[in-house]
Amino acid sequence: MERFVRQKKGKAVMKKTNSSVRWLYLAVGTAALLFAGVIYAWSILKAPLAAEFGWSASALSLNFTLTMCCFCLGGMLGGVLNRRLGLRTACIISAVLSAAGFLIASGMDDSIGVLYFSYGFMAGLGIGIAYNCIISTVNAWFPDKKGLASGVMMMGFGASALVIGSAADALIASPSLGWRSAYRVIGIALGLVLVLAALILKKAPEAEPVRKNDPEAESTDLTTAQMLKTVTFWKGMLILIFLAAVGNTVISMAKDLALSVGLAAGAATTLVGILSVCNGLGRVITGAVFDRFGRRTTMISANIMTICAAGITLLSILTGSAALGVAGLCLTGLSYGTCPTISSAFTSEVFGTRYFPMNFAVMNCNLIPASFIATGASLINAASGGYAASFILLLTLSVLALLLNLSIRK
């Protein structure tokens, strides 16, 4: 009886701690990911490199592709490090790698190999480790609100291009500072924030996962090997690849696309910022919808939104309508914001929380083929002399994703 009372008290204390502390952890995780998301500000950070070293657009684009590949690999490494060494050690390793990557890049000469190694490999790998560790740790504190927690953190990660990117742009434009100082400031700030997150965040106590509002959710925690053997995983992976490809493609050419439908240069630049805001909003809204209506409704709704985004943007290209172009790009931002939140919440909901860090890292690898589809779309644009052909491809992929979505069962 005495043992039972202690257990009951322990549960009561744990429940009280969960309600009071987990929101602090969510705020810390979101702030850390706001800084870590600086890799999405590459369009700003690459500009002075092209001007100083004369590197081609394709060479600089390859660095971003390398960064995203290492980011995904870092996510898988983060799952291993988190399990074997613990959250604190894993986050500190990520801080060292990320900071060192930017600091080494700040001192490089005209050797683009140094950029690939420092920014692409080191910073990409470090940020991937932090991304996985922080999201999996904070999500574990929200078994009842996994969609909302994922959405808020993903919003911070997606908003980095606007917030941190704008600050970096101001540093780069300063005559007394320049791009080298901007890289150093980013590296030091990112390293410090990740170390602070490592010191503050703690692993959540073991709890029975809550899977409400979704009768099709799996009731068993699956290992990564078991997950890879399920048809549901491969359908979910293909859906995310196709949907993310739309957002990746549009983000990579947003300003040029806006100019092509008649927007002025200033308005096109502003629209890129609005696209980033819509991306962040889409992540939070998707999380709330996931918690309220379940996996199936959320994923199908997000898919339909992506079809509309690609269709409206294609129509704006064919008609030259600036109004449709603005609507299409904003809708694309919202739809692209659904992808990372769905990736996190879907993995947790369907395959369980026990092996979530590694399962999520594997699911997050959808970014690699999605980025290559975006690169292929750029080649199609160059070959065809316009944007219509690539958006027909993206619209087709969105429809295929919907067919896969409708076929997903338990």
Among candidate residues 82, 341, 79, 81, the one with its CA nearest the CA of residue 227: 79
AA identity, residue 300:
I
Q: What is the CATH number of the domain that holds 189?
A: 1.20.1250.20
Same domain, 83 and 134: yes
198, 95 Cβ separation under 8 angstroms? yes
| pLDDT digit string, tens, across residues 318-349 | 998 999 989 998 999 899 888 888 888 888 88
AA identity, residue 16:
K
Domain count, the chain: 2
Question: What sign does the CA torsion over 369, 371, 374, 376 have?
Answer: negative
Q: Final residue of a domain: which of 207, 226, 249?
A: 207
Same domain, 134 and 220: no
Same domain, 197 and 223: no
Same domain, 241 and 383: yes
| pLDDT digit string, tens, across residues 136-180 | 899 888 888 877 888 888 888 878 877 888 888 889 888 888 899
Domain enclosing residue 61, as ranges: 1-207
Residues contacting residue 15 through CB under 8 Å, at least 6 positions apart? none
Whole-angstrom distance, CA of residue 108 vs CA of residue 166: 23
| pLDDT digit string, tens, across residues 204-256 | 876 554 444 544 444 478 999 999 999 999 999 999 999 999 988 887 777 77
Same domain, 197 and 293: no
Among candidate residues 74, 13, 28, 30, the one with its CA nearest the CA of residue 202: 28
Same domain, 356 and 321: yes
| pLDDT digit string, tens, across residues 35-70 | 998 887 787 788 888 888 888 877 887 888 888 889
